[in-house]
């Protein structure tokens, strides 16, 4: 074998060394790129976390403001309603004072005064959205009426409200108290008696 065919071992080692060096340089470049990318990702993650914390703080502040506004509106609405009710309370005080005094009023005068007071209270409550539920003579509606008893009768259709025991009310269309009612039902037909045979 000639020396050319075998090659120079020093040159081969040099080439291998150069190849390793190139490979190491390439790996170092990749490592630096990876480190740079990781640092950028960590920076972005920190920015996102900071934004998230700020958004969360903003949301908590908005919730606090909304709660305060609801409390304020509720308080103002209560105050407005109470101011409307004060004249009725004054009239009730006056009625109690007159009823307890030596001046004897006729019963019909007391009734007239109480009806006026009832009308005044009803107007205040209606102005706030309160409405009475119509019941007597109406068909039974389980969403509006609560049955307290039944009366057997042929004079009204079955499941018709005959009497209202307690008024029911809606507030702005929502049932807040059902009416307590007495409802009609068909009379039971007596069973024919069976004659005993002996």
pLDDT of 28 strictly over 90: yes
pLDDT digits (tens, 9 = 90+) for 103-131: 666 777 778 888 888 899 999 999 989 99
- For residue 168, what pLDDT is reported? 94
Q: CB burial class (10 A; 0-12, 13-18, 19+) of residue 145?
A: buried
- Going by their DSSP bridges, the two strands 179-185 and 145-152 should be labelled as parallel
Provide CB contacts within 8 A for 171, sequence distance 6+. Answer: 128, 129, 130, 131
pLDDT of 198 strictly over 60: no
pLDDT digits (tens, 9 = 90+) for 56-91: 999 999 999 999 999 999 888 888 888 888 888 888
Could you give the 3-state DSSP secondary structure of residue 76?
Answer: helix
Q: How would residue 98 be classed by pLDDT, with cut points 50, 70 and 90?
A: confident
Q: How would residue 40 be classed by pLDDT, with cut points 50, 70 and 90?
A: very high
Q: Is the distance from CB of 160 to CB of 193 less than 8 angstroms? A: no
């Amino acid at each position: 074998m000639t020396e050319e065919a075998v090659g120079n071992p020093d040159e081969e080692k040099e080439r291998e060394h150069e190849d390793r060096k190139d490979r190491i340089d390439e790996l170092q470049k990749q490592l630096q790129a990876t480190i740079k990318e990781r640092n950028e990702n960590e920076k972005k993650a920190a920015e996102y976390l900071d934004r998230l914390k700020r958004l969360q703080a903003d949301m908590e502040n908005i919730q606090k403001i909304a709660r305060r506004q609801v409390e304020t509106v509720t308080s103002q609405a209560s105050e407005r309603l109470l101011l409307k009710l004060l004249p009725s309370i004054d009239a009730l005080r006056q009625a109690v004072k007159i009823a307890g005094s030596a001046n004897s009023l006729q019963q019909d005068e007391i009734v007239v005064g109480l009806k006026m007071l009832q009308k005044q209270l009803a107007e205040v409550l209606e102005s706030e959205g309160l409405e009475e539920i119509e019941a007597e003579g109406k068909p039974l509606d389980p969403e509006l009426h609560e049955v307290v008893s039944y009366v057997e009768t042929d004079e009204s259709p079955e499941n018709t409200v005959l009497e209202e025991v307690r008024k029911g009310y809606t507030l702005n269309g929502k049932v807040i108290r059902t009416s307590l009612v007495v409802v009609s039902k068909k009379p039971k037909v007596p069973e024919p008696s069976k004659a005993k045979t002996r």
